[in-house]
A and B are shown apart, each in its own frame.
Chain A
Amino acid sequence: MAVGVASSCNKTDNYAAPSSTITGSTVDEGTGQTLQTEIGGGGTRVKLLETSYSANPVPLYFQSKQDGTFNNTKVFPATYKISVEGPFVPLVQTDNTGTVVSDSSQTIVLKDQATLKFKVQPYLRVEWVGKPVINADKSVTVQVKVTRGTNIPAYQLDVTNINLYVSNTQYDGQNNYDPRYSTLTSYGGSTGTALLGQTITITTTGGALPLQDAYFRVGARINAGLNQYNYTTTASVSF
């Protein structure tokens, strides 16, 4: 019996750990810039379908960084069908019966390293107009412009939210902001949509900011897909 137990334990897992790398970026096809997103579950993620394992594999996901680039250094070499999901027109489009009508996924045979670039049409493009300005009362005013990133009518829905997020770190967004100073605005009907293309001025709420570095980001969204936000880059001020 003792011999049996010992022999059953000496099988080690000798399969090499994954060490291949998938790196790349999600790029706004209109501007050529990487597409800003939210860190964590509310932002862009990369979807891997290991088609060399199964015709119908369980998908693997990994999250994009805030600036729209992604990097995963622990992937098994295999054949993958890869796409990205986030606040932009889906790369895989289905009609109302589930039939795939277009699919811009990329299939790669991963050996050591692969670099991918996905060109996407963001729902909204949120851009700074100038830099944040510190007011006399130590509040901060920013200006932004929100425009559509796509011409597809199905994704030209009403703008529901334009929010100025304030945080004491650069990881600023819907999932991480200081509610005392951030200015959140919801729009009903077409009132938000009427602001498209205009310079929008937003001031922080709650009076003087604490006298420390502050980071700002503006997010806007339409009610499409998983209701995620498109973002500006992060701007900061130092008092």
Chain B
Amino acid sequence: MKKFKYIILFVCIAAGITACRKLNIPPKNIIQDPDVFGSTGGVQAYMARLYSELPIEDFRYSPDMGLNFFWIIKPTPATTGEALSRDQGGSSSENFGDWHWDVWGGNYTTIHDCDYFIQTLPTYAKNYTQAQVNGWLGEAYFVRAMTYFALVKRFGGVPIVNKVLNYTPGSDVADLKVPRSSEKAVWDQVASDLDLAITNLPEANADYGDGSRANKFAAAAFKSRAMLYAGSVAKYNKITLFDNDHNQVCGLQASDAAGYFQKAYDAAKMLDGKYSLYLAQWSATDKNAQYQNFVNLFSDPASKENIFVREYQYPNSVHGYDAYNVPRQLMGPNGYSSEVNPTLDFVEKFDGLPKNADGTLKTLDASGHYLLYSNTMDIFANAEPRLRASVILPGDVFKGQNIEIRRGIYTGSAAGGISPLLPAGSKSQYPTANLVVSSTAGQTAYKLPDGTLMNPAGLSGVFTGDQTCAISGFSVRKWLNPNLATSQVLENNETQTWIEMRYAEVLLNKAEAAAELVSLGQTGSINTADPFTIVNQIRSRAGADLLVGAGDATIDVVRNERRKELAFENKTYWDLRRWRIFDKEQNGTIYRVLMPFYSADAGKYFFDQRTDERNNVYNYDTRWYYEQIPGGAISKSSNLIQNPGY
């Protein structure tokens, strides 16, 4: 090598090439700080990057694929019991360390980008008004808070790095190996960054007022979410881990719970009167209007319920929600459909269904025979409008079609009533006698007694050999775009807006924080009527049955309301984690499904409820409440200690 250098030097001298005289000219091909921080356009570009890195679980998230991934075939609701998916076989932790999701390096890159912005922007403050500088700094604090939040809810205490770390070549890297802070310190960091965001941000974002960039109230709304998470961990977590310096890197002291719940309550209260529940099409007396209102809530850009959203734009930033989730009979050209099939357990949470004493759907008459219906929608005639707006029920209308869901045709006699096909609780396959079924969408019609022809299965399933269909008897409705032509139901082609934070959640955060504070006997600075008032506010909009007495609004009632209201919005996954009930709900659990059958003899439908025919068992591993820190991160920084059990 040395020889080569001499040769190069010789050639330079011989050819009379002199070195550049001026070494202090900024390289023209590298974007420098003045280019970025010196103009509103440059700051805009920096913001675009910060927001695109913002770790939120949107249309492009699944626990298996991580953030910002296009191929969402193991959707989040299929890990929470909200739904079943043909691609999800059971409980799941998040899948880090795969090539598509660097949860550790990615989030610390975002934190670095925020730190750099916060350090550098003041140098260029003279170019802008004070309001602009404050607003942008507020946004950087907001993004940094959200990123710490994303880390602490997964891992517990993580390194806090609030200034840019610089590596000088040749220097020791020991001081770059920042150890984990206590979990409490990270939650407090989230709170203090959000407080700075609240202080610095204006009431309406000066650059974009449509909710796609943060304002004061968005920061307060996320503070209510984060502090509720922290309070729940303090109250319900049982896993602890200390480092050698007695920092509690996993877990909080139970005595911290009330303080965090109070912060959540106070932050939520900041939004009083600033946002409102969407009621544009709502009518107190018209269930259909209530249904349409709840549908439109997710697509009306004028909604005063939207607090923080992520917008998409073809072709720069797109998703494939409709392609993966439309009912089978509306399948797009890519061939995907029905990834989210709501479970019967989820559907039974809603009002307006015929129920047994134990809360399960009533499908049998007093003598133990199936109840018969002329249409599959008859059993749902009085269903809560919010259920219809969240779940496509068998036979309901979507995109002008009846979504036909039928498991098979029962050919046995209906005289004297039809007895259950299987004993109660059986996990066996359905008997083959007296049943005509279809294994795929290519069906052979069955001739009914009156001579007409009927396919054994519905157009949207259920097929016995092809799970690309309504395997639970239901298909998801929420978020689907009813105006998207089937030819356009393609991957990487959808652009409907993701609503990450809406006012209903803020209200429910407030109700839950209040209910928790009541249970802890800390009622000094809250309105103890809030849980009752808020649950009824949400239920009234949903068209659900109202609570009667103030005492009915228990913690469990508030939680259940939240699970119904925010279903399929990737929120339940985190709720089940922070309540630490994932392992209790998914404890050898096989979720239940509702299979509609047509009786050829009776000329009517009946419903059989059973466990998932695939016998997929959900067992949530308690370890997952604190996710495994990626091995690569520990290899790089041996000061990071691993979470328990990995």
Contacts and interface: CB of A to CB of B under 8 A. Distances in A.
Interface stretch (A64-72, A93-101, A107-115): A93-101
Task: State which size class the interface on A falls in.
Answer: 20 to 34
Q: Majority SS of interface residues in chain B?
A: loop
Contacts of A205: 425, 427
Interface in B414-439: 423, 425-428
Contacts of A207: 423, 426, 428
B428 A98 contact: no
B248 interface: yes
Nearest to A98: B242
Contact of B242 (A94, A175, A184, A186): A94
Interface stretch (B141-149, B383-391, B637-645): B637-645
Contacts of A179: 427, 588, 590, 615, 617
Nearest to B588: A184
A163 B4 CA distance: 74
Given A41-B621, A180-B427, A180-B615, A58 B246 contact: no
Contact of B642 (A59, A99, A182, A226): A59
A97 B242 CA distance: 8
B601 interface: no
Interface string B615-646: 10101011100000000001000100010110
Contacts of B622: 226-227
Contacts of B644: 226
Given A58-B638, A206-B427, A175 B246 contact: no
A223 interface: yes
Interface string B232-252: 000000111011101110000
B583 interface: yes
A59 B238 CA distance: 22
B645 A58 contact: no
A42 interface: yes
B242 A161 contact: no
A98 B243 contact: yes
B244 A56 contact: yes
Interface string B566-594: 00000000000000000110011010000
A167 to B, nearest CB: 13
B381 interface: no
Given A59-B642, A98-B248, A179-B427, A227 B583 contact: yes
Interface string B360-404: 000000000000000000000000000000000000000000000
Interface in A170-222: 174-175, 179-180, 182, 184, 186, 205-207
Contacts of A182: 588
Most buried by B among A58, A98, A161, A207: A98
Interface string A63-103: 00000000000000000000001000000001011110000
A227 B246 CA distance: 24
Interface residues of B, number: 33
B246 A223 contact: no
Nearest to B587: A186
B246 A97 contact: yes
A1 interface: yes
B173 to A, nearest CB: 16
A226 B628 CA distance: 14
B548 interface: no
A4 B1 CA distance: 8
A182 B611 CA distance: 14
Nearest to A224: B238
Contacts, number: 61
Contacts of A99: 246
Nearest to B622: A227
B143 to A, nearest CB: 32
Nearest to B620: A227
Contacts of A4: 1
Nearest to B612: A179
A86 to B, nearest CB: 10
B589 to A, nearest CB: 9
Contact of A206 (B242, B428, B642): B428
Contacts of B1: 1, 4
A175 B90 CA distance: 11
Contact of B428 (A59, A180, A223): A180
Contacts of B248: 98
B619 A206 contact: no
Most buried by A among B246, B428, B615, B645: B645
A180 B425 CA distance: 10
B621 A98 contact: no
Interface in B301-343: none
Contacts of B634: 58
Contacts of B645: 41, 85, 226
Interface string B243-269: 110111000010000000000000000
Contacts of A85: 645
Contact of B4 (A1, A58, A175, A224): A1
Contacts of B242: 94, 97-98
Most buried by A among B1, B244, B587, B590: B587
A56 B634 CA distance: 13
A223 B238 contact: yes
Contact of B619 (A94, A98, A174): A174
Most buried by A among B243, B425, B427, B588: B588
A120 B388 CA distance: 55
Contact of A226 (B428, B587, B623): B623
Interface in A148-184: 161, 163, 174-175, 179-180, 182, 184
Contact of B426 (A94, A96, A175, A206): A206
Contacts of A180: 427-428, 615
Contacts of A206: 426-428
B135 to A, nearest CB: 42
A186 B581 CA distance: 14
B588 A163 contact: yes
B592 to A, nearest CB: 13
A97 B634 CA distance: 24
Given A98-B243, A174-B588, 10 more contacts: A41-B623, A42-B621, A58-B638, A59-B642, A85-B645, A98-B246, A180-B615, A226-B239, A226-B622, A226-B623
23 contacts: A42-B621, A56-B244, A59-B642, A85-B645, A94-B240, A96-B253, A98-B243, A163-B588, A174-B588, A174-B619, A175-B619, A179-B590, A179-B615, A180-B428, A182-B588, A186-B584, A206-B427, A207-B426, A224-B238, A226-B239, A226-B622, A226-B623, A226-B644
Interface of B: 1, 4, 238-240, 242-244, 246-248, 253, 423, 425-428, 583-584, 587-588, 590, 615, 617, 619, 621-623, 634, 638, 642, 644-645
Interface of A: 1, 4, 41-42, 54, 56, 58-59, 85, 94, 96-99, 161, 163, 174-175, 179-180, 182, 184, 186, 205-207, 223-224, 226-227
- The 10 nearest A-B residue pairs measured at CB: A98-B242, A227-B622, A184-B588, A98-B246, A180-B427, A226-B645, A179-B615, A179-B617, A226-B622, A226-B623
